[in-house]
Structure 1
Amino acid sequence: MWGWIFVFLALALLLYIYFLKRELRKLKHEIKGLPTRSSFGSRLSLDFREKTLLDLLDELNQMIDAFEEKNRQAKQMEENVKLSIAGLSHDLRTPLTSINGYVQLLHAATDETKRSHYLKMIEHSVKRLLEMSDHFYDLARIETNQKEIVLSSISFSNLVEEIFLSFYEQFEEKKIELQFPEQPNERQIIADNLMLIRVIQNIVQNILRYAKSKAFISYRNEENYLVFSVKNDIKPDSKVAVEKVFMRFYTEVASRTNTESSGLGLYLSKKLVEKMNGKMDAELNDNWFILTIHLPINKNQT
């Protein structure tokens, strides 16, 4: 009897080893094929339900998930780089062409009034080039996680008023009326000061380019956030696609002939706000374009 039991156990062990080796060979074959099919969501599988093998399988599939995610991020970054290069080439060409044209006119002009006008236009185009360069530089650093964030407690309403009023002459020139709340919001937020300045500046530039005649600033407290809203009326012939305003390189002019905008301002602003643990939304209500930003409140404020 003991002999038969020994034979049975020996056969069971041999079968176990056979199936184990078969599954390991299958697993080895599937692992070799991973580089060619892993991007299609393939996963390793086994027919032999043995706990140790299943644990190994789970670990390997987690590695595959991580590899695919890294691969997806790398491809996305590659696409972003291609798109950035294409956008950069297009957007820089317009002010560069403008500068070249005005330089030629400047050389040919003898009238001082005309020369002064051409110089002013050249200065304007150079300023746009510098602004675009800053946008592209910030965007590249954000999307490669190289832009460091330094969070601190900031009096947001004071900063907003300071930046908006620094553009007072431009608002006067464009005949855009600004309206601030009668009582400023005294709540402080947690944010990166430099990033916040860039966001507000981009919002100001957006108003200067697209507002018809009015812009209203308001604040409200909402749970753990200070909500900052800016709304401006839009020109009658405006064709704002509100669902696209945060897309990279989107401009109101579909043909992208708008020399005043690279289409990166709001896209970059949204990225910066999200990096500061906030959120940024846009909506179109009748002839009003409304931007809303949620920024975390400093709970330790006294």
Structure 2
Amino acid sequence: MWEWILVFLVLALILYLYFLKRELRKLKSGVKGLSARAKFGSRLFLDFRDKTLLNLVDELNQMITEFEGNNHQAKQMEENVKLTIAGLSHDLRTPLTSIHGYVQLLNTTEDEAKRANYLTVIEQSVRSLMEMTDNFYDLARVETNQKEVNLASISLSSLVEEVFLSFYEQFEENKIDLQFPEQIIDSQIIADRLLLIRVFQNIVQNILRYANSNALISYEDDSSYVIFTVKNDIKHESKVAIEKVFTLFYTEITSRTNTETSGLGLYLSKKLVEKMNGKMQAELEGNLFVLKIYLPKIQLQ
């Protein structure tokens, strides 16, 4: 009797080892083909229902999922780099070509009025180049998570007035009426002062380029955020695709020969606001372009 039980156990063990070896070969073959197949969403599986092996396969499938995510992220970053290089090449070439042309004109004229005008244009193009390179530098640091964030308590309305009023002469020159709210509830927010200044500077530049005659600033409170809103009317020649305003290299001017902007301002601003745990949205209200920034407020105990 015991001999038959022993024989049965030996046969069962042999069958178990046979199926186990078969599944391990299958698993080995599946692992070898992962790099080629993972992008198609394939997963490892077993016919042999052994708990230890099933746990191993589950762990391997989790690794595949992480690999696919990292692979997708790497490809996305590669596409972003290609797009950034293409945009950078175009946007830097345009003002550089302008500078080169006006330098040639400057060298061929003795008319002092023309020379002064050419120098003004060259100076504007140089400022545009400096703004573009600053934006590209900031964007590169944001995309690679090298941009440090130092969160602190900030008076939002005070900082808005400080930044916007520093552009007072430009608003006057462009005949843009800048309106602040008559009554301000001075809510404190949690943000990085330097990053927020950069966001507001980009918004001001956007208004100066595309506003027709006025810009209106307002504030709201909700349970979690202070909402900063700025509305400006739109120049007749500007056509806004609202779904694209936060897209890399998008500009409101239909022609990409526009030398004043790289189309990075709002894209970068949204990235910076999100790094400060906020949100940035855009919408159209008739002929008004509306930007809303949600910034975390200090919660009173």
The residue number in structure 2 matching 1:116 is 116
CA distance in structure 1 between the partners assigned to 2:300 and 2:132 by the alignment: 38
Alignment of 1:66-105 (within 5 A): 66-105=66-105
Q: Distance in 1 between matches of 2:98 and 2:238?
A: 25
SS of corresponding position for 1:63 = helix
- The TM-score normalised by the length of structure 2 is 0.97
Question: Does 1:185 find its partner at 2:185?
Answer: yes
The answer for the alignment partner of 1:275 in structure 2 is 275
What's the CA shift string for 1:138-187, capped at 9, x where partnerless? 11111111111111111111000010000000000110001101122311
Partner of residue 2, structure 1: 2
Cα shift at 1:115? 1.0
| Structure 1 match to 2:158 | 158
Other-structure match for 1:37: 37
Give the 3 Å change call, closer, same or farther, for CA 47–183 of structure 1 in structure 2. same
Partner of 1:293: 293
Report what 2:224 is aligned to: 224
* Residue 255 of structure 1 pairs with residue 258 of structure 2: no
Match of residue 13 from structure 2: 13
Match of 1:284 in 2: 284
Contact 2:282 2:291 in 1 (8 A): yes
Q: Give the aligned partner of residue 139 of structure 1.
A: 139
- For residue 265 of structure 1, what is the aligned residue in structure 2? 265
Matched residues in 2 for 1:51 and 1:185: separation? 62
Query: How many residues are matched?
Result: 301
- SS of residue paired to 1:130: helix
CA distance in 2, matches of 1:6, 1:254: 85
Contact 2:250 2:264 in 1 (8 A): yes
* Partner-residue secondary structure (3-state), 1:218: strand
Partners of 1:239 and 1:36 lie apart in 2 by: 45
Shift of residue 127, structure 1, vs aligned partner: 0.2
**Poorly superposed stretches of 4+, deviation over 4 Å:** none
For 2:99 and 2:237, how far apart are their aligned partners in 1? 28
Equivalent residue for 1:241? 241
Q: Distance in 2 between matches of 1:198 and 1:224?
A: 23
SS where residue 281 of structure 1 aligns? Answer: strand
1:300 CA drift (Å):
4.9
Equivalent residue letter for 1:192? D
Q: SS at the partner of 1:261? A: coil
C-alpha contact 2:237 2:253 (8 A) present in aligned 1: no
The letter for the 1-side match of 2:183 is Q
Q: Residue 102 of structure 1: CA displacement?
A: 0.8
Deviation at 1:236, TM superposition (A): 2.6
| One-letter amino acid of the structure 2 residue matched with residue 295 of structure 1 | L
Deviation at 1:234, TM superposition (A): 0.8
Normalising by structure 1, we get a TM-score of: 0.97
Q: Residues 240-271 of structure 1, C-alpha deviation per residue, up to 9 Å, x if partnerless?
A: 10010000001123331221111110000011
Q: How far did 1:298 drift?
A: 1.6
> Match for 2:22: what amino acid?
R
The match for 2:52 is 52
Amino acid at match of 1:20: L
1:132 Cα shift? 0.1
**Per the alignment, in what secondary structure is the counterpart of residue 42 of structure 1?**
coil
1:148 matches 2:148: yes
Cα distance in structure 1, aligned partners of 2:252 and 2:127 = 21
2:146 is paired with a residue of what secondary structure? coil
Separation (CA, whole Å) in 2 of partners of 1:21 and 1:185:
73
Structure 1 counterpart of 2:143, one-letter code:
E
Output the CA distance in 1 between the equivalents of 2:43 and 2:149: 38
Question: What code does the residue aligned with 2:267 have?
Answer: Y
Shift of 1:225: 0.4
Gaps of 5+ in 1: none
Shift of 1:26: 0.5
Q: Deviations over 1:77-106 (max 9, x none)?
A: 111111011000100111101101111111
CA distance in 2 between partners of 1:41 and 1:204 (Å): 45
Pairing 1:65–2:65 present: yes
**How large is the RMSD of aligned CA atoms in angstroms?**
1.1
| Residue identity opposite 1:116 in structure 2 | A
Letter in 1 for 2:50: E
Amino acid at match of 2:47: D
1:112 positional shift: 1.4
| Deviation of the 1:114 alpha carbon | 1.3
Whichever residue aligns with residue 119 of structure 1, its letter is L
Secondary structure of 1:182 counterpart: coil
